[in-house]
Amino acid sequence: MRTVFVTGAAGFIGANLCYELIRQKYNVIGLDNINDYYDISLKNARLERINNLTKKNNLGWKFIKGDIENKRFLEEIFKNFKPEVVIHLAAQAGVRYSIKNPSVYVSTNLTGFNNVIECCRNFLIKNFIYASSSSVYGGNKKIPFSEKDPVDHPISLYAATKRSNELVAHTYSHLYGIPSTGLRFFTVYGPWGRPDMAPMIFTKNIISKKPIKIFNYGKMFRDFTYVDDVTEAILKLINKPATSEKISQDILNPSLSWAPHKIFNLGNSNSVSIMQFIETIEDELDIKAIKEFTDIKPGDVEITAADTEKLNSWIGYKPSTSIKKGIREFVKWYKFFYKIEN
Domain that holds residue 239: 3-189+226-268+306-320
Residues 6 or more apart whose CB falls under 8 angstroms from that of 157 comprise 98, 99, 102, 105
Radius of gyration over every alpha carbon of the chain, rounded to an integer in angstroms: 19
**Single pTM value for the model:** 0.95
Measured CA to CA, the distance from residue 30 to residue 104 in angstroms comes to 22
Which residue type is seen at 90?
A: A
Per the domain annotation, does 292 fall within a domain? no
Per the domain annotation, does 28 fall within a domain? yes
**What pLDDT is stored for residue 55 in this prediction?**
81
Q: Give 342's pLDDT tier (boundaries 50, 70, 90).
A: low
Q: Tell me the pLDDT tens digit for each residue of 253-266.
A: 788 899 999 999 99
**Given the residues 37, 158, 189, 334, the one annotated as active site:** 158
Q: Tell me the pLDDT tens digit for each residue of 73-87.
A: 999 999 999 999 999
Per the domain annotation, does 329 fall within a domain? no
Q: Tell me the pLDDT tens digit for each residue of 193-245.
A: 999 899 999 999 999 999 999 999 999 999 999 999 999 999 999 999 999 99
158 is catalytic: yes
Per the domain annotation, does 214 fall within a domain? no
CATH number at residue 36: 3.40.50.720
Per the domain annotation, does 325 fall within a domain? no
Per the domain annotation, does 21 fall within a domain? yes
Domain count, the chain: 1
Measured CA to CA, the distance from residue 68 to residue 265 in angstroms comes to 25
